[in-house]
Amino acid sequence: MKNLSVWRNEVEAPSFPRLNGEIDADVVIVGGGITGITAAYLLAIAGKSVVVLEALKVGQSSTGYSTGNLYSTVGGEGLHSISSKFNEKTLAEVVESRAAAIELIKQIIDVNAIECDFRHVPWSLFTVDGYRKKFIDQERTAAVGAGLTVQRNVPYPAPVEDGFTIPGQAQFNPYEYVVSLASKINTGNCRIYEYSPVMKVEEGELCSVETDNGKVTAPKVIMATHTPKGLYMVHASMGSYREYAVAALVKDKYPESGIYWEMQESEHYSVRTFDAEEGRIIMVLGQMHKVGQKEENLECYEKLEAFLRKRFDVGEVLYKWSAQQYKPADSIPYIGLSSGNSKIYIATGFGADGLVYGTLAAMIISDDILGKSNKWSKTYDASRITPLASASNFLKENVNVAYEMAKDFLSTDADSFAEVKTYEGKIMELEGSKYAVHRDGTGELHIVSAICPHMGCVVHWNTADQSWDCPCHGSRFSKHGEVLEGPAIHPLKKIQGGTDA
């Protein structure tokens, strides 16, 4: 079994150079996922000089670990939550804007002749075991109210007790789409750099964005990094979550092409099929939890595999992976200038709907930079204040952050290096300081500071991904301390290594 997204296995990754030296541009984009690459495309074809800085490889973070599902409805708390927190007009704007983003993806594919297996498919929400009927009914009513076509039939192999289908949604290979588009635009007005992590951003008449080996100066900056790098007020308005996926060969009685959301008592499973080199594959996504707050996360994969084997006739599990998402307090993403007088744009709070919202963010932000009006910019305004719509989730997430900060400073996982077993990670206190200690497969110890450089929380070991994860705002680090994702800019300080330290 490969601990890798199936999309990345299907496509050969292109290579882009590392930034060396100082350059200028009209816009510098931090992040080479679907948000950043789409924004770069829209700005470059409009004549703007654009630089994209990707910390690792283009498309290999959130975009490359997504489901490839594109739909006008929303995940998380659902359509009815947006209607209840705001109003039906806002709900209609969200649905309309998401449909427009899907249409833009299709246009980009057609215009640029991108082969990424794009196809229109139905989306279904349902229950087999009778769970969450009230939620399903609320979503059906909200979908009709938002102008979506709703059908009663759900084309699922297992008997469906209640549910509905929305036709005309879509699926594609998200990684192939993004790397293909990046390859096509990396010329003329657009320059893309990989392995160029941003270490510092300064605002002024011109903004300065520094990497570990270069600097870009530009009037505008777009933070297309899933969550903005550094310290932003918006971090307090979001919760960071991880979700897991497994993909297996399926023999027969599998669902026809489509997006299937099966509701269970306390879980929501997203199912889809696709053709790969190995044959027909079925994928399931689920088992969500707060980042850094589930100790036995390997069982997430086990539960997903058990679900697949219960529902379908599957063979070998070929792929498994996990991905991160950031949930907005009021159920709507934050897209636009980070504050009224800022020159930095942010795009975050997409929840599990990042492929569509990331594309929409590129549309809204590029329109603003180009001086065009966008009818959805106010709906997604990144600096909006929505106390009534945000109160419950804002309070829940910030109480959780305070709890994690307090409890972790009073506890450790081990008193000696001998307690750290192979492939484990534990927090130890040495001479009054907290350290994160991991022992790799060769027996070597890797010791880094346990304090997240973003806001000072203590990191936790992620067994499934072999990483150090911050339970407060979702920053993640490798066993060596390098930043993998999240708002942290700087790595965990490396202390030392060895077989016994």
As a whole number of angstroms, the distance between CA 383 and CA 337 comes to 7
Give the Å distances, CA to CA, from 28 to 138, 177, 374.
Answer: 42, 21, 21
Percent of the chain with pLDDT over 70: 98
Q: Residue 10's pLDDT band (boundaries 50, 70, 90)?
A: confident
**R_g over Cα of the chain:** 22
76-86 as b/e: b if 16+ CB within 10 A: bbbbbbbbbbb
Q: Answer yes or no: are the C-beta atoms of 253 and 300 closer than 8 Å.
A: no
**pLDDT tens track for 365-418:** 999 999 999 999 999 999 998 877 777 887 787 788 777 777 777 678 888 999
- The angle at the Cα of 325, spanning 319 to 329, to the nearest 5 degrees, equals 155
Is the confidence at residue 266, as pLDDT, over 90?
A: no
Query: Smallest Cα–Cα separation from 343: which of 219, 198, 200, 199?
Result: 219
pLDDT above 70: residue 39: yes
Q: Could you tell me which residues come within 8 angstroms of residue 10 by beta carbon, excluding any fewer than 6 positions away?
A: 173, 175, 176, 276, 277
CA-based nearest residue to 76, from 207, 233, 243: 243
% of the chain beyond a pLDDT of 90: 81
**2 vs 483, higher pLDDT:** 483
In this structure, the dihedral spanned by the alpha carbons of residues 172, 168, 351 and 467, taken in order and rounded to 10 degrees, is -20
Backbone angles phi, psi at 311, to 5 degrees: -90, -30
Flag whether pLDDT at 76 surpasses 70: yes
- DSSP letter for 2, please: B
Q: In the chain, where are the structural domains located? A: 417-498
Stretch among 2-16, 95-109, 466-480 having the lowest mean pLDDT = 2-16
Report the C-alpha gap between 354 and 90 in whole angstroms. Answer: 19
Q: Judge whether 460 and 201 are in contact, CB under 8 Å.
A: no
252 vs 34: which has the higher pLDDT: 34
In sequence order, the β-bridge partners of residue 249 are: 281
| Helical (H) or strand (E) element with 252 | strand 238-252
Three-class SS state of 277: coil
Q: What is the pLDDT of residue 386?
A: 83
Could you give the CA distance from residue 61 to residue 55 in angstroms, rounded to a whole number?
Answer: 10
Q: Which two tokens stand for residue 362?
A: 């590129």
Q: Is the pLDDT of residue 499 over 60?
A: no
Burial classification of residue 130, based on how many CB atoms lie within 10 Å of its CB (0-12 exposed, 13-18 middle, 19 or more buried): exposed
pTM of the model: 0.95
Greater model confidence, 182 or 401: 182
Q: How many CB atoms lie within 10 A of CB 238?
A: 26
Q: What is the pLDDT of residues 279-318, one digit of tens each?
A: 899 999 999 999 999 878 999 999 999 999 999 999 999 9
Secondary-structure percent of the chain, ordered helix, strand, coil, rounded to 5: 25, 30, 40
All residues at 6 or more sequence positions from 392 whose CB lies less than 8 Å from its CB, including other chains: none
In sequence order, what are the beta bridge partners of 124?
Answer: 165, 260
Q: Give the pLDDT score at 182.
A: 98
Q: Are 436 and 425 in contact (CB under 8 A)?
A: yes
pLDDT tier, 93 (very low <50, low <70, confident <90, very high otherwise) = very high
pLDDT at 141 over 80: yes
Q: Mean pLDDT in the chain? A: 93
What is the three-class DSSP state of 235? helix
Q: How far apart are the first and last CA of the chain?
A: 33
Closest CA to 394 of 242, 234, 266, 287: 234
Integer Cα distance of 21 and 385 in angstroms: 40
Higher pLDDT residue, 243 or 131? 243
| Residue 497 confidence (pLDDT) | 57
Residue 490 pLDDT > 70: yes
**Exposed / middle / buried, residue 441 (Cβ in 10 Å: 0-12, 13-18, 19+):** exposed
- Tallying the residues shown for the chain, one arrives at 501
498 pLDDT higher than 70: no
Residue 8 is predicted with a pLDDT of 80
DSSP assignment letter at 274: E
- For the domain spanning 417-498, the CATH number is 2.102.10.10
Sign of torsion over alpha carbons 128, 130, 131, 136: positive
Q: Which of 251-255, 402-406, 442-446 has the lowest mean pLDDT?
A: 402-406
Strands (E), 93-197: 119-127, 162-171, 190-193
Count the alpha carbons within 13 Å of 411 in the hemisphere toward its beta carbon: 10
What pLDDT shows up at residue 410? 66
Q: What is the pLDDT of residue 500?
A: 55
- pLDDT the model gives residue 405: 72
Amino acid 396: pLDDT: 80
